Structure 1
Amino acid sequence: MIKVKTIARKNPQDLQAPEQFYLHAVKDGVVDFERLAYLISNQSTVREADCLAVLNALQHNMMDELAQGRVVQLGSLGNFQVGIRCEGSSLPEEVNASKVRSAHINYRPGKRLRKALLGLEYKLISG
């Protein structure tokens, strides 16, 4: 069950417009690698330490592959790819790597995960 709460937001394109109210998903805890390794080990014959080693190797290799500009596909979990934010230039010859302001990860969920999102249930909580 996904907890949601009501929040007010201004329109950034029209600050004089009245606020609108939206639902906002509320996080309900954090699951780290150790917890995932524990859960996986309880669902298989693999020891927790081995699961943790595989998860750490996955993280390391994902970082290496993303740094090479590759899309990392993790099956039905989805795809990860580096995206950038940069300054614009009025002329194409002014564009160069120094214009990059920041990098981020673009994530696109796989079909199975997208389908799972369709079946979620929501519970409104107070502010």
Structure 2
Amino acid sequence: MAIKFRIQSRKNPQDLTAPEKYYAASIGNGETDLEALATMISYQSTLTDTDCYAVLKSLEYNIINELNQGRIIKLGSLGNFQVSISSEGKNTPEEVTAADVKKSRILFRPGKKLRQLLKSVNYQKAS
């Protein structure tokens, strides 16, 4: 198995007059949703696919709830989820308020097994 990629041209955003360069860009090979994951897990355990789906939906709900409370979610070798924010800079600490938060996002930091996966991936140019 290999991850396929296509060639994509891009301009230099810091110098729009510079000639475009060409880069490899990965191509998605379909999708796997929670129902499919539940079915896969059920074949690897004694649980039904409905039980697995219920657990996955509960995991989704609880991750969202815990992130909403500012907690870091540690999923073992899978990795960690955490909310990150960006704000406007102020001259003194007293000036900084919640209104200065301009952007938030969810960070995912892959665990050791996922990072190791990236070291062994094969790539194939799409035809």
TM-score (norm: length of structure 2): 0.91
Residue 44 of structure 1 aligns to a residue whose secondary structure is coil
Give CA-to-partner distance per residue, 1:52-107, whole Å, 9 cap, x none: 01001101110111111111011110011011233344x23442211222321101
Letter in 2 for 1:60: Y
| Structure 2 residue 101 is matched with structure 1 residue 100 | yes
After TM superposition, the structure 1 = structure 2 runs for residues 66-85 of structure 1, keeping only pairs within 5 Å, are 66-85=67-86
Q: Distance in 2 between matches of 1:63 and 1:77?
A: 17
Gaps of 5+ in 2: none
Report which stretch shifted further, 97-106 or 110-119.
Answer: 97-106
Q: Post-superposition shift, 1:37? A: 0.2
- Equivalent position amino acid for 2:42 in 1: S
Cross-structure match for 1:112? 113
- For residues 94 and 8 of structure 1, what CA distance do their matches in structure 2 show? 44
Number of residue pairs matched? 125
Give the percent of matched residue pairs that are identical in Structure 1 and Structure 2.
50
The answer to which of 12-21 and 94-103 deviates more is 94-103
SS of residue matched to 2:24 = strand
CA RMSD of aligned residues (A): 1.3
Distance of 2:87 and 2:13 partners within structure 1: 21
What is the rounded CA distance, in whole Å, between the counterparts of 2:13 and 2:23 in structure 1? Answer: 15
Tell me how far apart the structure 1 counterparts of residues 82 and 6 of structure 2 sit (CA, whole Å): 31
Q: Distance in 2 between matches of 1:87 and 1:12?
A: 23
Deviates more, 1:101-110 or 1:35-44: 101-110
Helix, strand or coil at the partner of 1:45: coil
Alpha-carbon separation, structure 2, partners of 1:120 and 1:77: 17
